Amino acid sequence: MTAKKFIIGFIVALTAAAVVNIAPGCNGNTKGKSNADSTSASGKDDNTILGAGSTFVYPLFSRQFSEYNKLTGLKVNYQSIGSGGGILQLINKTVDFGDSDSPLNEDQSKKIGAPVLHIPMCAGAVVISYNLPGISDTLLLTPEVIAGIYLGKIKKWSDPQIAAINKGVKLPDFPVLVIHRADGSGTTGIFTNYLSKINSEWKNKVGEGTAVNWPVGLGGKGNEGVSAAIKQTPGGIGYIELAYAIQNKMIYAKVENKMGKFIAPAITSTSAAAEIQLPEDSKIFITDTNAIDGYPIAGFTWALIYQEQNYNRRSFQKAQNVLKLLWWNIHDGQQYCAGLNYAPLSPAAIKVAEKILLSATYDGKQILKQY
């Protein structure tokens, strides 16, 4: 069986996004409820919060929500289905909060038709992982090579452009098999925002967004699906969140940043990229950073909630529980970021997040008071 036939068969098998139920005693391996049998977001069960969205942040949310349950007894059921799915469920008002690694675009905001708050949760790195049997070296990749691979112009791992920046590495004559996200994904939003900044052809022909028309490659669902496909595919290359690469013992490249330095994705290099002044609405991409030691493919992830929380027969208690949970996430919950390879919010970012949360209302009245 050729590598290309293998990857096609493997990814066809990845037909469903991961649905995860984060509740007391769960370790993330248990499948959660579907939308059809989940508690609605109407507030009938004020002690259960429903969330859905980013797979990028799932490892962190799993730990944070478990710890919060121990402290308060509040249950958080979070569906790790991708940012696009989380946004759709927020639009449909079937969850209490969504999570996305890309801010809402103009079309999404119009569909929602009401102000939505973006509360930054942390920052993370999107790594470029690959499967090259016999290669133990950490490969170096430049923006030109990354764009060339994803535009389908670099077709072999032995390509002179890759070899020129990896002197002394015996690169195999394997075909480059590109793996990308098949679902609407904030991780894709970060990655394609980066590609659009560093390559004009990509920007003009493909562009950026949570879902794009890929020039080449095959798709896997979620960070989980892409990670699994890379591991099973000799010659495979794909973009995934750092935590997934580390948990799955996958190798990943150092990427040349704007300052000409090859940077490994790590907490320190992600923090360097994220050390910026956030706008008041917190919506910003931090790819292609100017920070000398910053990793260039990094981004924030945001919890998304309606600014006006009195909707869909929700109680005030339900709204207050959601706000208190997110307030804890941006304060005490930050202690769990570094251990799971996420960059904690800076003090300045926390102040922006606080102001955003304090703007949430119920019947036009502020829900949270300054703690």
pLDDT digits (tens, 9 = 90+) for 110-158: 989 999 999 999 999 999 999 999 888 899 999 999 999 999 999 999 9
Place 369 in a pLDDT band, splitting at 50, 70 and 90: confident
pLDDT of 1 higher than 90: no
CATH 3.40.190.10 fits 35-123+301-366, yes or no: yes
The whole-angstrom separation of Cα 278 and Cα 117 is 14
Strand, helix or coil for residue 240? strand
pLDDT of 213 higher than 50: yes
Of 21-30, 134-143, 257-266, the poorest mean pLDDT is in 21-30
Mean pLDDT of 309-323: 95
Please give the pLDDT value at position 136.
80
Query: What stretch(es) of the chain map to CATH 3.40.190.10?
Result: 3-13+125-274, 35-123+301-366
Place 31 in a pLDDT band, splitting at 50, 70 and 90: very low
79-83-87 Cα angle (round to 5): 90
CATH architecture of 3-13+125-274: 3-Layer(aba) Sandwich (3.40)
Strand, helix or coil for residue 233? coil
How much is the pTM? Answer: 0.85
Please give the pLDDT value at position 218.
92
